[in-house]
Amino acid sequence: MLLWMGIFFFLPLLMMLAVSFAGRGTYGGVEWTLSLTNYAHLADPMYLRIYGRSLALALATTTLCLLLGFPLAYSIARAPARRQGVWLLLVMIPFWTNFLVRTYAWMFILRTEGLMNTLLINLGVTTQPIELLYSDWAILIGLVYGYLPFMVLPLYAAMERLDLSVVEAAWDLYATGWSVFWRVILPLTKPGVIAGCILVFIPSLGAFITPDLLGGAKTMMVGNLIQHEYLVMRDWPLGSAISFALMALVLLGVMAYFKTDGRLDRFERGR
Amino acid sequence: MNRGRIWLLSASLVNLLFLYLPIAVLILFSFNASRLSATWQGFTFRWYLALVENQALLTAVHNSLLVAVVSTSIATILGVSAAVGMERLLGRRRRTVEVTLLLPLVIPEVMLGVALLLFFVMVKLPLSLLTVMIGHVVWNVPIVAVIVRARLQKLDPRLVEAALDLGATPWLAFLRVTLPLLTPAIIGAVLMAFTLSLDDFVVTFFTAGPGSTTLPLKVYSMVKSGVSPEINALSAILVLISMALIGLSLVLQRQRN
């Protein structure tokens, strides 16, 4: 197993790291010269805009998924055991459905002559079809739609373990709905919240299909940029450097997660 | 309290509507007689018939199944042995293996695809179904290992010890005691790996060569050339297949219990 992962996982990554310091040949090959040019290129304002958009979209996706997923996970966890299975199944079906299919569904709905525009015109909201597809909004909808199950499942796992008598005690002690939520439910389900956020944040930051299909040429994200540099511009060294920048962003997120997780453990042991 | 309940329930219903309405609309319009319009023009099975006659699509389905079967088998063998082997390691070494296993899961898929492409080109391995299979095994091994390991850690170590005390060799104890206890987890892992392999687009996109088009690649190229009722019909079939796979995993789990 280690041999397999060594050859087909770590070796490719190391080669990519090496290539990210090399130069680009005239015909798109790799020229073995040691330089930091590719990493200097990363600070190009055009690229910075793309990282900025990716980060903003990933954060917005995570927040929306949390806002939507939290009440759903909570009501699943509080439902009677028999019904919980049915609810979970309903969340699992989209989770197991092909991602391309789910993205295509939004193309079908949002396109100019699509369902949404037909509906809006028939309702008299607008006379001319609106351009809904190929925008940041379309990408955001697609990402939230795609990754919502990733948020609901860990949240549910955390809430299932939540001791309901604690919540009832808070009610009995005349806590208002808000303070029960902020001071009892949220702190107790924090590990699930963090896990869900990480699971949504990582894939949406590196998303490729969603911005490719629902976004336009002006709404690239990092994932598309890497693909563009590799397959269209044939500038492998620069593409590799961008990949490592993306990985650094992701690892920062994961490390932040483990750090808060560790603190949480200590906090619980302290009690 | 009651108002909170109603609020929660309606929020959940909005969620489910959001999750299912797009899929429902997609399936509904796969039966629409009109090719272009988003208004209902009558019922037809025409688009489904067109799929069956599409030779390129059938080849892609065949390729996808082949890749999924081969890569799932390899990933299962490697993943299960990794999970079992890990239990025997201690301290630092165990930690190293753990990180090795988790890294492919946190790394963005695009990056993995690109790194594999780079690797295959540099070692001059022509892009084909073989390279696609290798790519799928790379992220399916960790998935299998994580699922099997979770189960392994919950097993009672006394069971294996008892077998050893009764004169079983370690290998026999593994085959007769550990493996049967792990079976539900392994079945779950196999189904998961198989589904993920069947559905994977990103890694396949970078590691597939000419003539090794899989179903998701074919769907992608169809979608790229515009919305059409054939894609709706194909999507409806894919949704049904994923529902069938979940059903299968549920039935298998229930039998075990």
| DSSP codes of every residue in A81-113 | HHHHHHHHHHHHHHHHS-HHHHHHHHHHHHSTT
Test A206 with B116 for CB contact under 8 angstroms. no
Q: Which of B105, B70, B68, B56 is nearest to B198 (CA)?
A: B68
Show Cβ contacts of residue A118 under 8 Å, excluding neighbours closer than 6 positions.
Answer: B38, B39
Q: How many CB pairs under 8 A join A and B?
A: 205
Tell me which residue in A108, A203, A239 faces B26 most closely, judged by beta carbons.
Answer: A108
H/E stretch holding A5: helix A2-5
**Measured distance CA(A196)–CA(A149) in Å, rounded:** 9
Tell me which residue in B19, B38, B223 faces A100 most closely, judged by beta carbons.
Answer: B223
CB contacts, 8 Å: A32 with chain B: none
Among A25-29, A62-66, A168-172, B43-47, top mean pLDDT goes to A62-66
Q: Which of A96, A130, A95 is nearest to A113 (CA)?
A: A130
B251 touching A (Cβ < 8 Å): no
B119 touching A (Cβ < 8 Å): yes
Task: For residue A231, give how far its alpha carbon lies from the nearest alpha carbon of chain B (Å).
Answer: 9
pLDDT the model gives residue A264 = 47
The per-residue pLDDT for range B98-143, each reduced to its tens digit, is 877 778 888 888 889 999 998 998 888 888 899 999 999 998 998 8
pLDDT the model gives residue B38 = 66
Surface of B (183-222) touching A: CB under 8 A: 195, 199, 201-202, 206, 216, 219-220
Q: Please tell me which residue of chain B has the smallest CA distance to A234.
A: B118
pLDDT the model gives residue B173 = 87
Surface of A (9-28) touching B: CB under 8 A: 9-13, 15-16, 19
Contact criterion met (CB below 8 Å) for B126 and B209? yes
pLDDT the model gives residue B122 = 86
Helices (H), chain B: 2-28, 46-52, 55-88, 91-106, 109-122, 129-154, 157-165, 170-173, 179-199, 202-207, 215-224, 229-256
Tell me which residue in A11, A106, A243 faces B119 most closely, judged by beta carbons.
Answer: A11
Task: For residue A260, give how far its alpha carbon lies from the nearest alpha carbon of chain B (Å).
Answer: 17
B37 touching A (Cβ < 8 Å): yes
Among A23-37, A135-149, B12-26, B241-255, top mean pLDDT goes to A135-149
The answer to whether the complex's ipTM is over 0.85 is no
Task: For residue B38, give how far its alpha carbon lies from the nearest alpha carbon of chain A (Å).
Answer: 5
Which candidate in B118, B213, B249 is best for mutational testing of the A interface (most A CBs within 10 A)?
A: B118
pLDDT the model gives residue A25 = 66
**Measured distance CA(B246)–CA(A147) in Å, rounded:** 18
- pTM given for the model: 0.85
CB contacts, 8 Å: A106 with chain B: 22
pLDDT the model gives residue A259 = 66
Contact criterion met (CB below 8 Å) for B197 and B140? yes
pLDDT the model gives residue B169 = 86
Average pLDDT over residues A111-126: 80
A92 touching B (Cβ < 8 Å): yes
Test B108 with A15 for CB contact under 8 angstroms. no
Q: Please tell me which residue of chain A has the smallest CA distance to B83.
A: A1
Q: Which of A56-65, A164-173, A197-206 has the lowest mean pLDDT?
A: A164-173
Give pLDDT < 70 ranges for chain B.
1-2, 37-38, 253, 255-257
Average pLDDT over residues A119-136: 81
Q: Please tell me which residue of chain A has the smallest CA distance to B110.
A: A223
Average pLDDT over residues A18-27: 74
**Measured distance CA(A147)–CA(B19) in Å, rounded:** 10
- Residues of chain B with pLDDT > 70, as a percent, come to 96
Surface of A (239-268) touching B: CB under 8 A: 239-240, 243, 246-247, 250-251, 254
Test B15 with A171 for CB contact under 8 angstroms. no
Test B108 with A171 for CB contact under 8 angstroms. no
Report phi then psi at A24, rounded to 5: -95, 130
